[in-house]
Amino acid sequence: MKPATFLQASALALLFVFSHSSFAALGGDFASVQADQAHMKATIRSSQAQAYMVHEMESPGHVLIREYVSPQGKVFGVAWNGQFRPDLRQVLGDYYGQYSQAVETKKAAQHGRSPLSISQPGLFVEMTGHMRAFSGRAYVPDMLPQGVRAEEVR
Amino acid sequence: MRNMLKGKLASNFFAAILLGALLAAAGCGSGNTGLGSTTPPPTGTNSNSFDWGAPFFYGRNVYTSIDGSSAANAPYWAYTQSSIAAAAGNVVAVTVDGGPFIASQNSVYVNGVFATVTVCVPGTSNCQNIDHVLVDTGSYGLRLLAVAGGGEFALTLPQQVGNDSNPINECTQFVDGFIWGPVLTADIKISGESASSVPIQVVGNSTFTAPAGCTAGGGTDESNAAGLGANGILGIGPFPQDCGSACTSANGSTPIEGTYYDCSTSGCVAAFESLAAQVQNPVTLFAADNNGTILELPGVSGAAASVNGVLVFGIDTKSNNALGTTPILGINTTGSFPGDFTTNYNGNSLTGSFIDSGSNALFFDNSSISVCADNTSFYCPSGIQLSQSATQVGANGTTSVVNFNVNNADALINGNPNATAFNGFAGPN
């Protein structure tokens, strides 16, 4: 990963005092970070990069989940790695349906195999890894803040 | 496994009759699905993984040493130039032949390495040979597809139960899906090696519905012939169990979702699973030759109708499995990418890299290489063949420069309609 992204971890952790929210993660409002944290019983730390904030959670299964929040308070990207896959319904939120449909279409067309890459105009999802070590990333291209490159979501 | 496994649609192999069907299927998603579509590629596609799949094994002997075993410096991968061992008690034949469902499913499992495994009711001679079990250095444990799911497995084996005597079932996660079924106990025999009372997973005939915690990871249920593409998976990767301590009570007060479940008529709930009860890499339970394996496959020039090689059990336990001076590539046992090492490629340090006979191509991201129009899982460089180089960096600091070719998959497939083994197949992660 990119340790530099998390250098200011402790400094911003106190920001999270919002009430619970039903917003889902990807594409959702800032507050959804806390909803995810509650759902996944995760601990959280955060840091501020130049054009966005990164919030990193660790779930009990030692899955690290990073949520990327724009200056407008929207979660424009998520990335994860760990021994298991995270709860993608929660992480992808309103985009889970689109992701699911894309997976079905892809597998129907080519009998899927390990790595999975979904690249649509409104959603990018990529997953890789193997048993005991999975990783993945997802973002909404139109929501990337000005000047932020997609590969920064990782 | 790298999870997934699979091959590709038969259509391209079976010529004109099926070609129309394939084009129709591909056409459904041409507007917004694969990387090969009209959608412009995303500006960034750098995953943190380089999956050294089956083509990496062609022409090599690849050693996989198991964590905690007697092999010095385990776990690691190591490899030398290929030399196929002669038949012996610790040697079993493997083949790349398109898999078990060529006829019935009209599909060819490209670059799938298969072996035959014998399973028995524990302590008896009531046994069954299961052919076309995928040999997979990217997973841990034996998983078999039942007849009801389109596979071969048909024995009645003892069901593993929890403290409450309820049956234990497992959700096994792959990258784009999962398989689901009970944990049973079997004796396993492969060539002259045997292991008694091994926890295995059987899928395709589950009594219970996969719980939400299993399906929440997304993807499809692959507990069937089309999903697995094989009669089973023989996971011989560098760990002894398929989950490890994360699934035991040592990991906290709440069992993790998406792994082991205790099931009753009222449903399945996540359950702790001790190390010994977890689905086991059967190699570790052999009486001898139990510290690792060597997968030995001959070189493939372009495409081949089939490939024959061997899987050797044990490292430095017999005269036919000496490591010698072969450099070893150390593997992470902890941290974010257990089972992995680092690959430096194209200016990126890919910390989640692994050597995986269960992946049917080399999988890595390089947005400058075109994805195929027909076989969108693979790359199709415009020059037909593209020379690349990467440096593997083991957890022990060992480095190894690997030069490899990326072949145009569409051209190779279309030019070799009867082939099942293809060198130089690569694809985006």
- Per-residue pLDDT, averaged over B234-243, amounts to 97
Domain presence at residue B44: yes
Q: Is the pLDDT of residue B165 over 50?
A: yes
Q: For residue A148, give how far its alpha carbon lies from the nearest alpha carbon of chain B (Å).
A: 10
CA dist A26 and A93 (Å) reads 6
Q: Which chain A residues contact residue B31 at CB under 8 A?
A: none
> pLDDT tens-digit profile of B73-124?
999 999 999 999 999 999 999 999 999 988 777 778 999 999 999 999 999 9
Token output for B158: 């003892």
For A126, the closest of B359, B377, B429 (CB atoms) is B429
Q: For residue B103, give the DSSP letter.
A: T
Token output for A135: 């990783």
pLDDT at site B384: 83
For A81, the closest of B172, B175, B337 (CB atoms) is B337
Span of A44-53, A70-79, B315-324 with lowest mean pLDDT: A44-53
Contacts 24+ apart (CB under 8 A), B342-347: B342/B392, B342/B393, B342/B394, B343/B50, B343/B52, B343/B390, B343/B391, B343/B392, B343/B393, B344/B390, B344/B391, B344/B393, B345/B50, B345/B388, B345/B390, B345/B391, B346/B390
Q: Provide the domain limits for residue B204.
A: 62-292
Q: For residue B73, give the DSSP letter.
A: T
With 0-12 / 13-18 / 19 or more C-beta atoms within 10 angstroms meaning exposed / middle / buried, residue B93 is: middle
Query: Residues of chain A with pLDDT > 90: what percent?
Result: 18
In B71-195, alpha helices (H): none
Residue at token pair 């007697």: B70
Q: Using a CB–CB cutoff of 8 Å, tell me whether B38 touches chain A.
A: no
CA dist B341 and B332 (Å) reads 6
Q: Is the pLDDT of residue B299 over 50?
A: yes
Q: Is the pLDDT of residue B7 over 60?
A: no
CA angle B340, B427, B332 (to 5 degrees): 0
Domain identity same for B259 and B136 = yes
Q: Is B4 helix (H, G, I), strand (E, B) or coil?
A: coil
Region of residue A68 (left: phi > 0; alpha: psi -120 to 50; beta: else): beta
Token output for A39: 């759902």
pLDDT at site A7: 30
Find residues 257-296 of chain B whose CB sits inside 8 Å of chain A.
Answer: 257-259
Contact B273, B168 (CB under 8 A): yes
Q: For residue A76, give how far its alpha carbon lies from the nearest alpha carbon of chain B (Å).
A: 14
Neighbours of B194 (CB within 10 A): 16
Q: Using a CB–CB cutoff of 8 Å, tell me whether A145 touches chain B.
A: no
For A120, the closest of B32, B139, B427 (CB atoms) is B32
Region of residue B105 (left: phi > 0; alpha: psi -120 to 50; beta: else): alpha
Q: Using a CB–CB cutoff of 8 Å, tell me whether A38 touches chain B.
A: no
> pLDDT tens-digit profile of B39-49?
333 333 456 89
Domain presence at residue B299: no
pLDDT at site A17: 29
CA dist B78 and B55 (Å) reads 16
Q: For residue B88, give how far its alpha carbon lies from the nearest alpha carbon of chain A (Å).
A: 30
Q: Is B245 helix (H, G, I), strand (E, B) or coil?
A: helix
Phi then psi for residue B415, to 5 deg, are -85, -10
As a whole number, the mean pLDDT across chain B is: 88
The domain tally of chain B equals: 2
As a whole number, the mean pLDDT across chain A is: 74
| More confident call, B121 vs A114 | B121
Neighbours of B69 (CB within 10 A): 19
- Per-residue pLDDT, averaged over B12-16, amounts to 31
With 0-12 / 13-18 / 19 or more C-beta atoms within 10 angstroms meaning exposed / middle / buried, residue A76 is: buried
> pLDDT tens-digit profile of B214-234?
998 777 899 999 889 999 999
- Per-residue pLDDT, averaged over B404-412, amounts to 95
Domain identity same for B109 and B169 = yes
Contact check, Cβ <8 Å, B4/A112: yes
- Per-residue pLDDT, averaged over A70-87, amounts to 89
Token output for B9: 């649609």
> pLDDT tens-digit profile of A34-48?
676 777 666 666 666
Span of B171-175, B300-304, B400-404 with lowest mean pLDDT: B171-175
Domain identity same for B99 and B220 = yes
pLDDT at site B336: 77
CA dist A144 and B240 (Å) reads 42
Domain presence at residue B167: yes
Per-position DSSP letters for B332-381, written without gaps between them: -SSSSSTT-EEEEETTEEEEEEEE-TTSSSEE---TTSPBPSSSTTSB--
pLDDT-based confidence at A57, cuts 50/70/90? confident
CA dist B176 and A92 (Å) reads 15
> pLDDT tens-digit profile of B334-377?
887 889 999 999 999 999 999 999 999 999 989 899 999 988 88
Q: Which chain A residues contact residue B28 at CB under 8 A?
A: 105, 108-109
| More confident call, A7 vs B87 | B87
Contact check, Cβ <8 Å, B39/A121: yes
B235: nearest CA partner in chain A: A131
Token output for A146: 């000005």
3-state secondary structure chain A: CCHHHHCCHHHHHHHCCCCCCCCCCCCCECCHHHHHHHHCCCEEEEEECCCCEEEEEECCCCCEEEEEECCCCEEEEEEEEECCCCCHHHHHHHHHHHHHHHHHHHHHHHCCCCCEEEEECCEEEEEEEECCEEEEEEECHHHCCCCCCHHHCC
CA dist B75 and B71 (Å) reads 8
Span of A111-120, B185-194, B218-227, B244-253 with lowest mean pLDDT: A111-120
Q: Using a CB–CB cutoff of 8 Å, tell me whether A39 touches chain B.
A: no
pLDDT at site B45: 41
The candidate with the shortest Cα–Cα distance to B64, out of B81, B52, B73, B76, is B76
pLDDT-based confidence at B6, cuts 50/70/90? very low
Quote the ipTM score.
0.84
Q: Is the pLDDT of residue B34 over 80?
A: no
**Interface size, chain A vs chain B, as Cβ–Cβ contacts under 8 Å:** 230
Q: Is the pLDDT of residue B325 over 60?
A: yes
Q: What is the CATH number of the domain that holds B127?
A: 2.40.70.10
**Cα dist. A79→A150, B239, B397 in Å?**
11, 26, 27
Q: Is B12 helix (H, G, I), strand (E, B) or coil?
A: helix
| More confident call, B25 vs A126 | A126
**The model's pTM:** 0.87
pLDDT at site B158: 98
pLDDT-based confidence at A108, cuts 50/70/90? low
> pLDDT tens-digit profile of B259-291?
999 999 999 999 999 999 999 999 999 999 999
pLDDT at site A101: 87
- Per-residue pLDDT, averaged over A49-77, amounts to 83
pLDDT at site A42: 63
Q: For residue B241, give the DSSP letter.
A: B
Domain identity same for B245 and B155 = yes
Per-position DSSP letters for B264-302, written without gaps between them: ETTEEEE----TTTS-B-GGGGSSSS-SEEEEE-----S
Q: For residue B343, give how far its alpha carbon lies from the nearest alpha carbon of chain A (Å).
A: 14
Q: Which of B292, B317, B344 is the last residue of a domain?
A: B292
Domain ranges of chain A: 3-144
CA dist B95 and B152 (Å) reads 18
Q: Is the pLDDT of residue A9 over 50?
A: no
- Per-residue pLDDT, averaged over B131-152, amounts to 97
pLDDT at site B105: 75
Q: Is the pLDDT of residue B53 over 50?
A: yes
Phi then psi for residue B251, to 5 deg, are -90, -5
pLDDT at site A44: 61
| More confident call, A44 vs B419 | B419
- Per-residue pLDDT, averaged over B312-319, amounts to 98
Domain identity same for B287 and B361 = no
- Per-residue pLDDT, averaged over B52-77, amounts to 96
pLDDT at site A32: 65
CA dist A137 and A80 (Å) reads 6
- Per-residue pLDDT, averaged over B178-187, amounts to 97
